[in-house]
Amino acid sequence: MPRVQSVERAFAILDIVATGASGVTEIAGRTDLPKSTVARLLSTLEDVGAVERATDGAHYRLGPRLPEMCGPVDVTAQLAVTMRPHLERLAMQLGEASGFGVPDGHAVRVISQVESPNPVQVRDYTGMVFPAHVGAPGMCLMAEWPEREVRRYLSRPLAPYTEHTMIHPQQIYERIVQVRKDGYCWVHEEFAEGISSVASVVHDPRGRVVGALHAHGPTYRFPAPGDGIWTAELIRATASEIWTSPT
């Protein structure tokens, strides 16, 4: 039976929007569709309630019609449940807090965190939203963006969170290139004074980016001397095995 191209394209767009609020340029880059086609399909999907505009007016998220048709499915809650046992295991293996963040436009929203078993703990960042250039999870997600989306983001002024936050476009771009090679990213005291973190991107079984797995702890003890690469590889391996390894 012949396939209907417009339906396939609409579902490809919904697949992307389901993982986090996305703009026309980002969707076009990830689907290899012209921006005019994406904009037209988004307009139709918005008209029928399948998508709606986020608060910034430039990004789209799933609309109210889909839950009405499919039942109350909270994708974010489902992801948090899926990640929980992996976060718990990481926290025990590393002795530090672990968390999971999802794309939220050009930012990262932390949806789950497991505390460190260490008596000296860091704060719980669950629910907080950070710009993509601030912190390891955002850098890892940026490494998955289309090239033109990265360039567009880096063309605007970037605000620092601490005196260590990397805000120079060329430095950030060089870091993104390195993340693409390594599959993980370390940052030290860039999103909070005295805190270091490492992250790696999580893909679903179909290869779509759903978020970033990370661990963070006080810089004076995390990572332990000589453990930087081992810790990063553990995060990367865990992220790549979310849907294949037993929990």
Return the minimum-mean-pLDDT range out of 116-120, 140-144, 180-184: 116-120
Q: Between 5-17 and 24-31, two packed helices, what is the crossing angle to 10 degrees?
A: 120
- Would you place residue 125 in the very low, low, confident or very high pLDDT band (cuts 50, 70, 90)? confident
Rg of the chain's alpha carbons, rounded to an integer? 18
Q: What are the extents of the domains in the chain?
A: 5-70, 75-240
Helix (H, G, I), strand (E, B) or coil at 63: coil
Start-to-end CA span in the chain (Å): 40
Does the structure show a pLDDT above 50 at 247? no
- Gap between the Cα atoms of 122 and 197, Å rounded: 11
13-34 per-residue burial string, b: 16 or more CB within 10 A, e: under 16: bbebbbbbbbbbbbbbbbbebe
Task: Write down the pLDDT at residue 184.
Answer: 97
Give the pLDDT mean for 139-159: 93
Integer CA distances (angstroms), 27 to 21, 127, 183, 189, 214, in order: 10, 25, 22, 32, 25
Give the pLDDT mean for 163-190: 96
For residue 27, the one-letter residue type is: I
Task: Write down the pLDDT at residue 87.
Answer: 94
Task: Write down the pLDDT at residue 245.
Answer: 53
Q: Which CATH architecture has domain 5-70?
A: Orthogonal Bundle (1.10)
Given the candidates 3.90.1170.50, 3.40.50.300, 3.50.30.10, 3.30.450.40, the CATH classification of the domain at 75-240 is 3.30.450.40
Task: Write down the pLDDT at residue 126.
Answer: 80
101-114 per-residue burial string, b: 16 or more CB within 10 A, e: under 16: bbbbbbbbbbbbbb
pLDDT digit string, tens, across residues 225-243: 999 999 999 999 999 988 7
pLDDT digit string, tens, across residues 29-70: 888 899 999 999 999 999 998 888 877 788 888 887 776 666
pTM of the model: 0.72
Task: Write down the pLDDT at residue 203.
Answer: 92
- Gap between the Cα atoms of 94 and 222, Å rounded: 9
Task: Write down the pLDDT at residue 177.
Answer: 97
Does the structure show a pLDDT above 60 at 16? yes
- Would you say 74 and 112 are in contact if contact means Cβ atoms under 8 Å apart? no
- Which residue, among 78, 106, 110, has the nearest Cα to 97 in the 3D structure? 110
Q: 209-218 and 195-203 as β-strands: parallel, antiparallel, unpaired? A: antiparallel
